[in-house]
Amino acid sequence: MPPDDSFFDFNCPYCGKVNSFPAASAHTLEECASCMESLIVPAAGAQTGGKLPLPISTPRLLLRRFHPDDSVKLLEMIALDESGTLPVSETDVDQWIAQQREARFTRSDAGIYLAVELVEGQELAGYVLFYYSDRNHNTAGFTLTITPPRRRQGLGLEAARALVDFAFDGLCARRLAVSCPSPNAAARGMMEKAGLRKEGEFVQSWFDGNAWVNVSWYALLNEERAARA
């Protein structure tokens, strides 16, 4: 345990109650000891912690938690993409949405799904699974799916760039790592345009339903992002 004088106090940005964390926890995502909301631990000396920056806004998109009234739109979106992997069915869609609304990034081992909504018309255009890939919350990752009718419109790249920012500014990750099937040239191009660098390729490591294919891995460190800025 660090000595007592290495801890500092600050107020939760949601409930206002006092929290105490080690100075080494600055700029990490933690939970308020009182209301259990996810908060960003500020630098020592700050009076109030930071809020998780959700929803995420871009010129055309809103990346947000699923709403209770999203069930019909969600099922319609799933029906448009037979290759989708969203673990939802008509019988449990309301329960699944409720679980996602209650999930916390600091506790969910399986990650949290966010809806990708078009600002114009409030249409569900896809979804994101965001997760930490290690217990210490140093590395974050995501999978992004845009529904077939909305592909080739630049929405995936627009969302991916916002997700990169969220990984570092919201989830306070040190490293972001994302993979995609190597035959998917559009996905690989999107990763590169979003600022990630290719780290490697796993040969025939994923079965796509028809054949074993290579998987490409892309990553970015927070310090690399800061240097570019």
Q: Is the pTM of this model over 0.85?
A: yes
**CATH number for position 63:** 3.40.630.30
Structure confidence by residue, pLDDT tens digits, 11-33: 999 999 999 999 999 999 999 99
User: Is pLDDT above 90 for 85?
Assistant: no
Check: CB of residue 174 under 8 Å from CB of residue 194: no
> Do residue 112 and residue 41 come from a single domain?
no
How many folded domains does the chain comprise?
2
Retrieve residue 125's tokens.
């255009």
Asked if the model's pLDDT at residue 68 lies above 70, the reply is yes
| pLDDT value at residue 16 | 97
Domain that holds residue 118: 56-228
Alpha-carbon separation of residue 68 from 61, 65, 130, 162, 207 (angstroms): 19, 10, 20, 24, 34
What is the token pair recorded at 226?
């800061």
Could you report the per-residue pLDDT of 141-179, keeping only the tens digit for each?
999 999 999 999 999 999 999 999 999 999 999 999 999
Rounding to the nearest 10 degrees, give the CA dihedral for residues 103, 216, 88, 37. 10
Residues 80 and 149 in one domain: yes
Task: Give the pLDDT confidence of 98-139 residue by residue, as tens digits.
Answer: 999 999 998 888 899 999 999 999 999 999 999 999 988 999
